[in-house]
Amino acid sequence: MEKIRWGMIGCGSVTEQKSGPGFYKADGSRLVAVMSRTKEKAEDWARRHHVERAYDNAEMLLDDPQVDAVYVATHPDTHCHYTLMAAERGKPVYCEKPMGRTWEESHRMVTFCKEQGVPLFSAYYRRALPKYQLIQELVEGGTYGPVRAFHIFMGQAIRDEDRIQGGTWRVRPDISGGGMFHDVGSHSLDLVDWIIGPITKAQGTGMNQSGVYDADDVVSGHFTVDGGIVGTGLWVFNTARDEDLTTIYLEKGKIEFSVGDIAAPITITTRNKQESIAAPDPPPHVAQPLIQTVVDELLGRGTCPSTGESGQRTDWVIEQILSGR
């Protein structure tokens, strides 16, 4: 096989710039079919992106013999459903994050894909971006000594659209599994898993302070990473403005960076100096580098760093934190 032919389920906003074009621009990859429950929406997406076929039925896309692998780009409430459908047909899956609304859904996805012998990948695309790869190299390189601890802070103002009739799908627990913590906070936990190591213990609490929508808008947690590294986190989604800073404390210094702003610089502070390292320019389609690693793995020429198992671990941490609600 020289190319992976993709079918995409879901034609929402995430597919327009972040991810969708990556499937027809990555080397060894083609996007041959898209699906939306609204046929006109699927046809419009396909026409604008020069994709051959558009469906309004997921089974038709999954049964298309020209589709080798599937990108699940729907809301989290259908991730498990479509992943199992694809795996049942023996087709690899690249699934948007968070993988499931709960750890149980993620576990079911991972277990079933393993049983079917089907690769499952999670869409935590920061693992393949040069900025975060550089941070990983700085941590693993040893110049600043071993990691001692870490702290995550993420704050966001309430969006205007989330103030109307219960908010968008992101702040509706029945659809997203929770709120903004699940949607964007999960990226910070995934980066800890990748850069520092898997979190083996987690506790915390979530609450709704503002009452604007049903989901938690403030979450706090503390963690232990495999090897005895400790960490804390605070996610505040009802504050005045958007800001975030993750700090990794090492024996000989600290590394600070933004999770949300992929173009923001990295700051390194040691006993004697502080320096700012410019982040490499992000690609036009931020998910394309990770999509490339998925394609390379499916073609037998590489490995993807964001798997179903790693996505499942992040869902487990989220659940452990919120169990103290």
State the pLDDT at residue 15.
Answer: 98
pTM above 0.95, yes or no: yes
Distance of CA 256 to the CA centre of its chain: 20
DSSP 209: S
Query: d(Cα 46, Cα 44) in Å, to the nearest integer?
Result: 5
pLDDT tens per residue across span 126-182 = 999 999 999 999 999 999 999 999 999 999 999 999 999 889 999 999 999 999 999
User: Residue 61: what residue type?
Assistant: L
Task: Evaluate whether 290 touches 283 at the Cβ level (below 8 Å).
Answer: no
Ramachandran angles phi, psi of 142, nearest 5°: 90, -5
Domain 4-126+287-307 has CATH 3.20.140.10: no
Structural domain boundaries in the chain: 4-126+287-307, 130-282
Render pLDDT for 6-20 as a digit per residue (tens, 0 to 9): 999 999 999 999 999
Q: Are 222 and 116 in contact (CB under 8 A)?
A: no
Whether residue 38 is predicted with pLDDT greater than 70 in this model: the reply is yes
Whole-number Å distance between alpha carbons of 32 and 46: 9
DSSP assignment of 156-172 equals -PPPGGGGSTT--GGG-
The predicted model gives 296-301 an average pLDDT of 98
d(CA 292, CA 6): 13
Select from 3.90.1150.10, 3.40.50.300, 3.40.50.2000, 3.30.360.10 the CATH code of 130-282. Answer: 3.30.360.10
DSSP summary character for residue 78: G
- Over 90: is that where the pLDDT of 204 sits? yes
Cβ atoms of 151 and 232 within 8 Å: the answer is yes
Q: 229: which 2 tokens?
A: 């590294």
Identify the DSSP state of 185. Answer: I
pLDDT at position 324 over 80: no
Percent of the chain that is helix, strand, coil (3-state, to 5)? 35, 25, 40
Residue 318's pLDDT is 98
Residue pLDDT, tens place only, 116-125: 999 999 999 9
